[in-house]
A and B are shown apart, each in its own frame.
Chain A
């Protein structure tokens, strides 16, 4: 598989959220606006790329039996870095993402890529895979955030598009489930027509 294909597979074909249904908790929890979705997506991308790289580098040193705990420690270290950096430099974003930043640790997507991809492939492939999958995740979260923000308050990234109040329900919890449901249906449609 060429590196380009490896990179682009995360956007539609194997999109972590819309197709693989991984990492749904942050995808539903933080996407009240496009900006929050993008912030969460990029934070996860950083963790994913870093953990993929480290796992790929030291895969031959890790005994097979303790590989899952080792991966978790590696991932948790990078999550702590993100947590501290974000708290220091982006306190507003940190406050609105809240609990979901430490919960990147248990995002099935990150551990899943470490186990299924980075522990078997070489450094460059793992890096590209982490970047592609992470950006695919960020893309999905931004899209869902934009849809919810547009329907809920008539704006995208804070820029107003539609006059009026919008449907508040899309900013609240039910809108997350319903919005994601229809986006997945849309992805199914696109995949079928390919």
Chain B
């Protein structure tokens, strides 16, 4: 039950993009086509889950015992960026097909604040390891849901007569705002 609450909370109620404003850069950047959004979502899910596990272990088995929790930000960002590099290298060797699909999105993920944000939130919310993993996967699903819905709308938006000053980013942001409005309907669910 507890896990179901975490999942519903992270996917719908506190959606990572539309309610918490994390991962806006890829959200605006790669959401012009549904196909690229799928690739980005896959890469985010992969890295976010891995990063949460690794940073959880580092926090509880290195930072806390040595009483250096103030190094959290520095150590997390270093771990995440090297993790992304490692995933890239391993994926290239083990599964070239998956690498082809996720390849160009992986380097972008280092500066995706959603990954670091979820890692820090897992510590702040005092989750245990399993809860942290469920939380990370649920947030990645929430990211995928938001970006896919948005990409679907943007593909149609291209065919519409948008006023000149509103073309591009402004129209996309207003659409995201309306989407966020729709997601507010989930508030109070958990």
Contact = CB atoms under 8 A, between A and B. Distances in A.
B73 A181 contact: no
A80 interface: yes
A22 B24 CA distance: 10
Contact of A169 (B110, B113, B181): B181
A95 B116 CA distance: 18
Contact of B116 (A21, A106, A188): A106
Given A21-B28, A80-B70, A184 B173 contact: yes
Given A103-B113, A176-B177, 18 more contacts: A24-B25, A24-B28, A25-B113, A26-B21, A76-B78, A80-B71, A99-B22, A102-B73, A106-B111, A106-B112, A106-B116, A108-B111, A173-B180, A173-B184, A174-B184, A177-B174, A177-B180, A180-B173
Given A79-B73, A184-B170, A69 B24 contact: no
B134 to A, nearest CB: 19
B152 interface: no
Nearest to B15: A173
Contacts of B71: 80
Nearest to A112: B111
A192 B167 CA distance: 14
B184 A172 contact: yes
A83 B124 CA distance: 15
5 A-B pairs closest in CB distance: A177-B177, A181-B173, A29-B21, A178-B177, A185-B170
A73 B74 contact: yes
A165 to B, nearest CB: 17
Contacts of A25: 21-25, 113
Interface of B: 18-25, 28, 70-74, 77-78, 81-82, 110-113, 116-117, 120-121, 124, 165-166, 169-174, 176-178, 180-181, 183-184
B166 A185 contact: yes
A185 B165 contact: yes
A125 B110 CA distance: 28
Contact of A105 (B22, B28, B73): B73
A16 interface: no
B124 to A, nearest CB: 8
A24 B21 CA distance: 8
A177 B20 CA distance: 12
A24 B172 CA distance: 13
B120 A102 contact: yes
A178 B74 contact: no
A99 B178 contact: no
Contact of B113 (A68, A69, A106, A178): A106
B116 A105 contact: yes
Contacts of B117: 99, 103
